[in-house]
Amino acid sequence: MWLEELAARPEALAPSAEHQVIVIQAQLEIDGVLRSMPVKAANEQPAYADANLMARYDFNRQLSATLNLNNMFDKKY
């Protein structure tokens, strides 16, 4: 999926070959760690949802203000 996203980018915006290798190696390491975990450990945390809100106001083309509210209902997970 990541490689398909890269292929869709213009060449000027694509990361270097070295950076691509670093990202793929990190993904493979993460995959290896996740695959080595017992099934119970991988599934211990139940699913949850939180509510976030972002508002932005553009004063002009060069100046804007953004307000972010994360975990609006202050739930602990």
- DSSP letters spanning 35-51: HHS-HHHHT-SPP----
Q: What is the pLDDT of residue 64?
A: 92
pLDDT digits (tens, 9 = 90+) for 15-64: 788 888 888 889 889 888 888 877 765 556 677 778 888 899 999 988 99
Domain ranges of the chain: 2-69
Q: Rounded to two decimals, what is the model's pTM?
A: 0.40
Single-letter residue type at 19? H
Contacts of 68 (CB under 8 A, 6+ apart): 52, 53, 54
Is residue 57 classed as helix, strand or coil in its secondary structure? strand
Contacts of 24 (CB under 8 A, 6+ apart): 2
